[in-house]
Each structure stands twice: as C-alpha cells, then as structure tokens.
Chains A and B, each alone.
Chain A
C-alpha cells in the first residue's frame, strides 16, 4: 500500500502535470487554411510533386465535407481559419543525429520524463519525438536499420523512401474517409513512419511521443506502420500538451498495414490537457485510427488508455480482410470534470474465419460524459467469423453519464457474435470492505478502479502499464466525496 499512497500523494498536489509550456523560437505558418498554406507547408518540407497533389486533392475533397455531428459530444466549433497549421522549433541545421539536436528541445522531453538519449537503451524503447508540427529526433535509428527496420519521422520517410510512402499512404484511411481525416491529409505536418521488413521481429518497443507546445496551432500528425509478411512490432504512443485557456485541435491519422502472418500491437496512453475543473480549455482530440489485416493470419491489436482531452472522438478500427486474421481492441476511457469522450471501435469482418475481440471499460466522474460507440460488421463472405464484445461502464457521482451505442450488422449465418454491456457504480459494500481493512476511501476507489481496468492494462507493455495506472489514479483524484 505504501507505494500506492505515494502515487496518490504525488498527484494530489497537482492537477495536470504536463501543463507547462516552453518559449522557443518557432517557425510558424500564418494562420488560415487555404491552398496557399498547403503549398507553403509542402514546399517548407521540400516534398515531391505527387504529395502536394495528394494534399490538394484532400483539401478539395474536404471543402465539400461537413463537420460530423452524430457523436455524443457538445463543444463550440473550432474556427479552422484561425489556426496555424505549421509550427516548428527553429533549428539552425537539420540535425544528423541526436547529438546535434538543440539541447533546449531535448530538455522538453527530459522534463516529460522521456529521455531521448541513449540511456533509454536500458529500457529498450526507440522513440520518435514530435513537437508541434515536426519530429525533433528519433532514437536507435541505426541499430534498427541494421535489421532493415525503417523507423523515422514522416518527412524523412517522404525524402528517403518515397516509394513506400506513396504505396501505403492513404491505403487504409482514404482522403475522403471523414472530415478530420481529409483535413489531416491536406495539412499534416509530420508524424512517424515505420516499416518492418519480411520475417523481422522488432527487438524493441517503438514509440512516438507527441507534444503540443505552441498556442493557436493544431497538431495534425500522421503515422504509418507497415508490417511485411511474418513480422512483428509493438508500437507505443503518448501525448501531452500545455495548459491553456483556449481549446486546441489535434486531428491525427494512424494507418496500419499488416501483411500475411504479421502482428502489430499499437498502444496509446492519451493524456492531452483535459481542460480545467470548470471545463475551460483542453484539447479536442479528433483522431482517425485504422488498421487493415490485409494478409491471412495477420493480427492487429489496439490498446488505449484515454484519460486526457476535453473532447475525444476516436475509433481505432480493424478491417479483417485476410482469412483467419484477428483484430483486438482494449480500451480504458476515463472522463472527469467536464470531459467528453465518444470512443470505441469498428471491426469489419471480410475474410473467412476472422476473429475480433472488444473490451471497453468506461469510467465517468464529475460532470463528464463517456460514450462507447462501436460497430461489428460481418460481411457475407466472412464465414465462421467470431466476435466477442464487452463494454462496461462505471459511474462515479450522479452528474456524469455513460452511454453505449453498439452497432452489430451481420450478413452471414455462420457468424457468432456476442455483445454484453453493464453499467454500475462502485458498490458501497466494496468500499466498506476496504475501509474495514484500513484502506481509506480514496485508496479503495483507486484499487477497485485498477482492478476493473486490469483486463485492459494487462495488454499494455510494462512501462506504459505503470504510467497508465498512475494516470488512472490521478484522473479520478477528488472525484469521491
């Protein structure tokens, strides 16, 4: 218990740990959104012609689209014309290795507890750090490249591996997919690119760390993961942002392409600034994440711990195209104060004997609204497909809401699909039991919540699991009266 107490104590004093910001000289695009800005971003990044064309096509598609309103969230509209679509810390020369990266920038990540230096070797994680619109550094590039693994920033990939980027970009999330994906396709500035060649098992966890620092910018990053036949990779994503009064927009796209027999595990611990106690400020997190199990026997697994953001709108999905492919989705979404989350998954069964599993645990406290929205679709061809979904909600306090909107569409008689959902609160008897044994109420709640979320937390890589547990305790701080 002493360790738990320590964790709690550590977090009682502060509200949002990563709320600070740093002033550095930045290279920014003027505010506004039009074709000129897109050309400006593209030329800034010295992109090839086809990519500019692709961006412009996305922009023109986007112009005809309407902002989706079906999600169970309410927020004032974002004025997209007032945003800056590019903000990068000024660096004199393009750094060739981490040693040349501006130490001031590295310090930002030190402060976040993410060391970009080689000492990270001990933990065996390769990190791509994205600050506002650009990637500031990627670690372990060399040792990974010996195995043929490409892990670098998106801009670098565009320069060095254009054939791969051109082949896979937009193959899973087409530009016309939805409003925010189209917007992202038009203005995305950077992100991570990861390519695992045939038969390679990536020896370490790959990780991207996103940080929004500048004010009045949107962060639009793009991640593309390609796993060739028989490969394996585990990928982590973390994010934080400074505490500001105005809302900021984060509209990312993640694409995963899994070939035959490959496995991709994607874990997210999302801790964007959630707004203050009165619901002021915070990040709008409108993210499109999708993976395709293109080859037979491939597997994609999403694990997410969502604790931050004022408004979350995120549905990591799997298209199970290859026969015998597997999709998984494990999620813990915690909302407190005035946060709103509308999150879930889509499992599209196309191939024969495909399997999917959905475990979603929602926790709402304060005045927050937490929705699970999911779809399980079994196409006609998907013989013997199997799905199991479980979505549980835990309510803390009588001002919050928990909602479930599962869509189940079955077109095949051999499919077996199960869905169950429960909603409950932490039982008084459970808390009483803990109290009796000397555990005070706040600790008891943390204990019960951690137990409730364990099924999902177990799926996280070890380092993340610890962070996620701490976050859970922190987010629910003060929600028990």
Chain B
C-alpha cells in the first residue's frame, strides 16, 4: 500500500478534525486511518486510473467543512422535476435543511445525526475499505438517519436534493444512514445542483440496510458543474429475500468517483446495479462496483453503459465476489461503451472472483462505435446524420434509463440525456 501520508491534504484534515466536537470515536478512528494510509495515490490498484488526490491537491485550497449558503424557496422549487409528488429532503452544502424540505405525512422517521451516540454509523460502510469513507467520518458535521419501520409501504418517493456551492474550495461531506425494516418498500431519488461555477469537493457516504423481504429502489442523477470533484461511497447490506436496485446516471462534473457496494448477506436476496455515463468535455467518471455474494441462492445483475465524447474518460471496475458458501449464485455483469471521439478513453476491468463451484457467473464487456449499417438504414429513411446518431445513442442509453422506477424522475433524466445527445425523438 502506497502512502501519501505527509501530504498537505491529510495534514490539514488531521488538524481540522480536532475542532469538531461530536462523534469523537468515529473521528479518531477515521483520522488514524487517514494518517496511516493517506489519500490514494495513482499507484494504488483501486485508484489506478483516477488521480483524485492530485486533482484535489490542485483544485481545492481549503479542506475545512463547507458552511451553509443562502437558499430560497423559489430556487428549490426550480429544481424539482415536473410532476414531482413525494417527500423532499433538501441538503445545503451537505447539511440537512429542514426549512426547505417538505413531507406529505408518510409513515417513516427522519432524524438529524449530530451527536453521539450513533453506534450504527460506519457499520455498513467500513472506513478501512476506502480512505474517503475515513475522510468523511473525520470531517462530516452532521448527517441524517432515515428509518422505515416494519411492513411500511412508502408509496411516494423520497427525494434527496443537494445544493452545493463552496467559495473557498471547501469540502462538502453529506452522510446518510438509511434503515429499511422487514417487508417495507420505498423509493429514493437523488439529484445534486451546483449553484455556481466554483470548484468544490463533495465526499458523500451513504449506508443502507435493507432488512428481510424489503424492497428498495434508489435512483441518482449526477449532473454537477464542470469543476466539481465528487466522491461517493454507497454501501448496502441486503438481507434475506430483499431486493435492492440502484440506477445511476452521470452526465457531468470534473472528476467523479462512485464506489457502489452491495453485500448480499443472505439467501434469496437480489441486488441490481444499473449505470449510464454520458460524458463530454474533460469529464472523468470512475464507477467502481462491488457485489459480495456470501450466501447461497442470491442473484445479482449489473449493466453499465457509457457514451464518451470529446476528451472524456470513463472508468469501470465491476467486481463480483462469490464466497465459498454462496452456492447456486447467479451473477451477471455487462459493460458496454461507445467512443465518439479520438480523444476519449475507456478503462474497464470486469473482475470475477469465484470461490464456490456451483454458480453461474458471467460478464461481458464491449467497446466500439455506432453500427454504420444502422446509421445508414436511418439515413436512407430520411433522417439527418446527426439525428440518426442521436436516435441510436438514445436507444443505447435507453436500456439503463428504463430501469429508473419513478416515472417523473425517469422523464426528467431522459430529457437531460436527450438534450445532450441532440437529434429529435
């Protein structure tokens, strides 16, 4: 393990955490890990293609916690999508903002996590696994905990809306801890809005427990501005007969790193991961996914698709881990990429680690370009070249967009994708 311990970033952070008074234990542990490991260098296998530490070094001047900024109701409403009907939970630079959030009286609880004891924090997303989890644990100010009780069917979606704006390049550290109890059902949506063009660093940690026979959908849109540096650590524990589906659409940002881990802890559970990265400019998006099959008869599906234009770079690393006990596992993974420019780059590494023999696991991965014949077919029928291209790319992306379960949010994301692709539909 290479270390970057005596780096100015870690020094600043270690100094900083002394001034925060809550979550002493968590912070001390996090600081210890950071001190020992430092932030990842490019030499590290897990961050091989994503020079995030260097990026931070160059762009972020102050690693102190970001303070809340001025918001108003009008601004918040502007960023709701058409036909939104559900609960809105607004975050102001990563801090829960109750004055702009509104609820429709659905039966679950939301609590601010700003002081100890909060023993569960850090039990799902382990900070030993990724230094950025340790960083979040060391510097976050407060998080929120959502608890959906047994047998509760939450019909309307819960929408997390993040407003980010850091003037001096500060760190935004949102922290979510979500527990879904037995037989409950819920849908979460997430979007982040950049308020201006100043660079910021958002380092988020989301922990979710999906208990027995619970069913959860979680859809996210990442369309932050061109200078945003984003790290997301999203980790889920999935219990017996439960299902969890993640959809993630990344459209912009400077450098974005998404760690998504599904721990399939018992039989009969199912984890699905769908992702689309549609990039242009110099955007760099790195998706690292990890499925850990620990018990027999579980299933996982994964489909990530990328369309890369200009000088963008897409990194995909999908790890499927099947432990010795996890017989009769079905695990499928697919990653398809289309390169639209000579300067775009794809680095993909689908990885299978299998320790059980009675399993069906497969992964497939392709990189190519649009089918000339399909393009010709459409042109022969009177579509302009750009239009035809747009249509084909939209069809390619559609497979992932269709997985977003909430109709309104799907239409909203689809519209963003269509705007990017051009052409008419």
Q: What residues of chain A have their CB less than 8 Å away from a CB belonging to chain B?
A: 70, 380, 393, 395-425
Instruction: Tell me if B350 counts as interface (CB < 8 A to partner A).
Output: yes
- A407-B349, A425-B358 known; A420 and B365 CB under 8 Å? yes
Report how far A420 CA is from B363 CA in the complex, Å.
Answer: 6
- A404-B352, A409-B345 known; A417 and B45 CB under 8 Å? no
Query: Residue of A at shortest CB range from B331?
Result: A423
| Cβ contact of B354, chosen from A395, A396, A413, cutoff 8 A | A395
- A403-B353, A419-B366 known; A413 and B341 CB under 8 Å? yes
Instruction: Tell me if B388 counts as interface (CB < 8 A to partner A).
Output: no
CB distance from B345 to the nearest CB of A (A): 5
Given A395-B357, A418-B364, list of 6 further CB < 8 A pairs? A395-B354, A397-B357, A399-B324, A401-B354, A406-B351, A411-B344
Which residues on the B side are within 8 Å of A70 (C-beta)? 45
- A396-B357, A417-B367 known; A407 and B347 CB under 8 Å? yes
B344 lies within 8 A of A409 (CB): no
B357 lies within 8 A of A398 (CB): yes
Report how far A423 CA is from B321 CA in the complex, Å.
Answer: 12
| Cβ contact of B339, chosen from A395, A413, A420, cutoff 8 A | A413
CB distance from B329 to the nearest CB of A (A): 10
| Cβ contact of A423, chosen from B339, B340, B349, B362, cutoff 8 A | B362
Report how far A404 CA is from B369 CA in the complex, Å.
Answer: 25
Report how far A400 CA is from B198 CA in the complex, Å.
Answer: 52
| Cβ contact of A424, chosen from B346, B348, B349, B360, cutoff 8 A | B360
Query: Residue of B at shortest CB range from A425?
Result: B357
Query: Residue of B at shortest CB range from A400?
Result: B357
Which residues on the A side are within 8 Å of B15 (C-beta)? none
Query: Residue of B at shortest CB range from A414?
Result: B369
Instruction: Tell me if B327 counts as interface (CB < 8 A to partner A).
Output: yes
CB distance from B208 to the nearest CB of A (A): 28
B200-246 at interface with A (beta carbon < 8 Å) = none
B356-380 at interface with A (beta carbon < 8 Å) = 356-369
B354 lies within 8 A of A393 (CB): yes
A408 lies within 8 A of B357 (CB): no
Contact flags (1/0) for B118-136 with A, using CB distance below 8 Å? 0000000000000000000
Instruction: Tell me if B342 counts as interface (CB < 8 A to partner A).
Output: yes
Q: Is the interface of B mostly helix, strand, loop or mixed?
A: strand
Instruction: Tell me if B81 counts as interface (CB < 8 A to partner A).
Output: no
Report how far A56 CA is from B368 CA in the complex, Å.
Answer: 46
A422 lies within 8 A of B361 (CB): yes
| Cβ contact of B356, chosen from A398, A409, A422, cutoff 8 A | A398
CB distance from A384 to the nearest CB of B (A): 10
B349 lies within 8 A of A421 (CB): no
Report how far A400 CA is from B361 CA in the complex, Å.
Answer: 15
Interface centre among B45, B324, B337, B357 (most CB of A within 10 A): B357
Which residues on the A side are within 8 Å of B344 (C-beta)? 411, 413
Instruction: Tell me if B355 counts as interface (CB < 8 A to partner A).
Output: yes
Which residues on the A side are within 8 Å of B357 (C-beta)? 395-398, 400, 425
CB distance from A209 to the nearest CB of B (A): 35
- A395-B357, A398-B324, A425-B358 known; A413 and B340 CB under 8 Å? yes
- A416-B367, A417-B367, A420-B363 known; A411 and B345 CB under 8 Å? yes
Which residues on the B side are within 8 Å of A418 (C-beta)? 364-366, 368
A421 lies within 8 A of B358 (CB): no
Query: Residue of B at shortest CB range from A424?
Result: B360
Report how far A423 CA is from B353 CA in the complex, Å.
Answer: 10
Query: Residue of A at shortest CB range from B364?
Result: A420
Report how far A417 CA is from B366 CA in the complex, Å.
Answer: 5
A413 lies within 8 A of B369 (CB): yes
Which residues on the A side are within 8 Å of B366 (C-beta)? 416-419
Query: Residue of B at shortest CB range from A72?
Result: B353
- A399-B324, A417-B367 known; A408 and B362 CB under 8 Å? no
- 17 A-B pairs within 8 Å (CB atoms) are namely A395-B354, A397-B357, A400-B357, A404-B363, A408-B365, A409-B345, A409-B347, A410-B346, A413-B342, A416-B367, A416-B369, A417-B367, A418-B366, A419-B350, A423-B362, A425-B358, A425-B359
- A424-B359, A425-B358 known; A416 and B368 CB under 8 Å? yes
CB distance from A172 to the nearest CB of B (A): 25
Query: Residue of A at shortest CB range from B329?
Result: A423
Query: Residue of B at shortest CB range from A412?
Result: B342
Interface centre among B45, B337, B352, B362 (most CB of A within 10 A): B352
Which residues on the A side are within 8 Å of B341 (C-beta)? 413
The 6 closest A-B pairs by CB, nearest first: A413-B339, A395-B357, A419-B365, A423-B361, A417-B367, A422-B362
Which residues on the A side are within 8 Å of B327 (C-beta)? 398
Report how far A395 CA is from B324 CA in the complex, Å.
Answer: 12
B361 lies within 8 A of A405 (CB): no
Query: Residue of A at shortest CB range from B308?
Result: A413
Report how far A187 CA is from B359 CA in the complex, Å.
Answer: 45
B359 lies within 8 A of A423 (CB): yes
Which residues on the B side are within 8 Å of A415 (C-beta)? 339, 367-368
Report how far A420 CA is from B358 CA in the complex, Å.
Answer: 19
Query: Residue of B at shortest CB range from A377?
Result: B347
CB distance from A294 to the nearest CB of B (A): 25
- A395-B357, A398-B324, A422-B361 known; A410 and B367 CB under 8 Å? yes
Report how far A435 CA is from B45 CA in the complex, Å.
Answer: 47
Report how far A413 CA is from B343 CA in the complex, Å.
Answer: 8
CB distance from A398 to the nearest CB of B (A): 5
A421 lies within 8 A of B342 (CB): no
B351 lies within 8 A of A405 (CB): yes
Report how far A418 CA is from B351 CA in the complex, Å.
Answer: 15
B360 lies within 8 A of A404 (CB): no
Report how far A294 CA is from B171 CA in the complex, Å.
Answer: 50
Report how far A410 CA is from B360 CA in the complex, Å.
Answer: 28
B368 lies within 8 A of A398 (CB): no
Report how far A418 CA is from B348 CA in the complex, Å.
Answer: 11
Query: Residue of A at shortest CB range from B355?
Result: A401
CB distance from B280 to the nearest CB of A (A): 13
Which residues on the A side are within 8 Å of B358 (C-beta)? 398, 425
A417 lies within 8 A of B361 (CB): no
Report how far A70 CA is from B43 CA in the complex, Å.
Answer: 11
Which residues on the A side are within 8 Å of B351 (C-beta)? 403-406
Query: Residue of A at shortest CB range from B339?
Result: A413
Interface centre among A393, A406, A413 (most CB of B within 10 A): A413
Which residues on the B side are within 8 Å of A410 (C-beta)? 337, 339, 345-347, 367
B315-332 at interface with A (beta carbon < 8 Å) = 324, 327
Report how far A405 CA is from B354 CA in the complex, Å.
Answer: 12
Report how far A404 CA is from B353 CA in the complex, Å.
Answer: 6
Which residues on the B side are within 8 Å of A411 (C-beta)? 344-345
CB distance from A369 to the nearest CB of B (A): 9
A408 lies within 8 A of B359 (CB): no
- A399-B324, A400-B357 known; A408 and B349 CB under 8 Å? yes
Query: Residue of A at shortest CB range from B319?
Result: A405
Which residues on the B side are within 8 Å of A413 (C-beta)? 339-342, 344, 369
Report how far A261 CA is from B185 CA in the complex, Å.
Answer: 64
Which residues on the B side are within 8 Å of A400 (C-beta)? 355, 357
Report how far A411 CA is from B349 CA in the complex, Å.
Answer: 15
CB distance from A437 to the nearest CB of B (A): 24
CB distance from A147 to the nearest CB of B (A): 43
